[in-house]
Amino acid sequence: MSDLLDLTAAAAAERVRAKEIDPGELFEAYRERAAADELNAFTWVADGPPAEAPAADAALGGAPLAVKDLFCTEGVPSQSGSRILEGYRPPYTATVVARLHRAGAPLLGKTNQDEFAMGSSTENSGFGPVLNPWDRTRVPGGSSGGSAAAVAAGLAPWALGTDTGGSIRQPAALCGIVGLKPTYGACSRYGMIAFASSLDQAGPLTRDVTDAALLLGQMVGHDRRDSTSLEFPGELTLPSAEDLKGIRLGVPEELTGSEGGVEAGVRERFEATLRLAEQLGASVEPCRLPHAPHALSAYYLIAPAEASSNLARFDGVRYGLRVDGDADLLSMYERTRSQGFGAEVKRRIMLGTYALSSGYYEAYYGTAQKVRTKISEDFREAFEGFDFIVTPTSPWTAFELGSKTADPLAMYLNDFCTVPMSLAGIPAVSIPCGLSEGLPVGFQLAGPAFSEGRLLDVAYALEQAIGFDGSEARR
């Protein structure tokens, strides 16, 4: 069993296709491991393997998939980490989950998350916080913390997460794994319980870059049920680059200097990775993203505004929690939302409603959208001189549970380096680049829209040179 769990998903899939491993045996090995979860990474685990085994030539070879709780899965609890949806079992399955299932990745379990994906530590879940497998007194990051912790701890070979402002990349960094946010529109959002519709995007969390490319290749493409989804240009192949000759990397001072508040250990590992990139043949030079320091402020107006609209549907009438009122509909609605939503969700709904209110719309939401446009223009100009932009993924390593819950601003600063890419809608990947005081550090690479193939190739070459070993978290 331990031999099976040491395999990457791609390696396990290859051995299943070669008939060296039975897919049912592989599923059961992970199911037993997930069922014994001590990190609170899962909110639901399958009782057994699927009734139908994957096809013999299935691209994903039967490697079981952990799925973030906000993806709808038919007949399986899909609660988005919220008590207001506790026990909700949808009558349909999200497009990306269905595509991966057809490609040979059966559903292993649903992973814990910050409620409605609102958080950077997975402490806002209605089902309790997730623990970091590297140090159980610390957070795994968020909001896809359950998915990241499950993969890092070997409870799942790979997992699905979502990224709105950094919710795949930041927990990947804090847990020492790979996390990819695709180009906005590359993957269907149908069946995802929405947080901020113009920002949410599904993506993989995996042990290595090859697994991320393999999973992403089965996720992308237009879906007629999601008008924002697009056909992915070209074909995604597995990365194979051995060097970085000819690659131009830009290092924005705005996201890597003193303004970003990057702690010393993270900066040290980031700079060491830049030197390694140069040794592999890349050119590394400073660049400018002048509006990037304003990204966090813009994001925390745009995302809550969209959330206040999206979350209006949770009213106790059609599905989910209902708390009876004083014989009138308004009372029932108010009590249901008061008891069903957690503190952070209420905070963001109120922020968003205020930003959209009469007399304030243009001053707040409208201005934030103008800043978003400026940030997108900054990236377009930067990519005229550079192939990719690189930054630390998170300004610091995993912090202690409870250390930032009383200070929302300190918590929001976790996303300082990841939010600009989300606002611009461009792809970005985090790879582990070493340890700082025994905790993983993430290195982020971002590229132009739909550059995932080249982005993963560069990440792969760096990954091979770094040689990070995450096995300590799987013990």
Catalytic machinery residues? 68, 143, 167
Three-state DSSP state, 321: coil
Report which DSSP code applies to 84.
Answer: G
Containing H/E element for 273? helix 264-279
What is the number of other CB atoms lying within 10 angstroms of the CB of residue 465?
Answer: 15
Angle, helices 295-310/343-356, rounded to nearest 10 degrees: 100
Please check whether residue 73 is in contact with residue 90, taking contact to mean a CB–CB distance below 8 angstroms.
Answer: yes
**Is there a contact between 458 and 244 (Cβ–Cβ < 8 Å)?**
yes
Q: How many residues comprise the chain? A: 475
Among residues 53, 113, 48, 54, which one has the least CA distance to residue 78? 113
- Gap between the Cα atoms of 132 and 89, Å rounded: 28
Instruction: Decide: 422 and 181 in contact? Cβ < 8 Å.
Output: yes
Order of strands, sheet of 178-181, starting from the edge strand that comes earlier in the sequence: 42-45, 107-111, 65-68, 158-163, 201-206, 178-181, 428-436, 439-446, 388-392, 248-252, 283-287
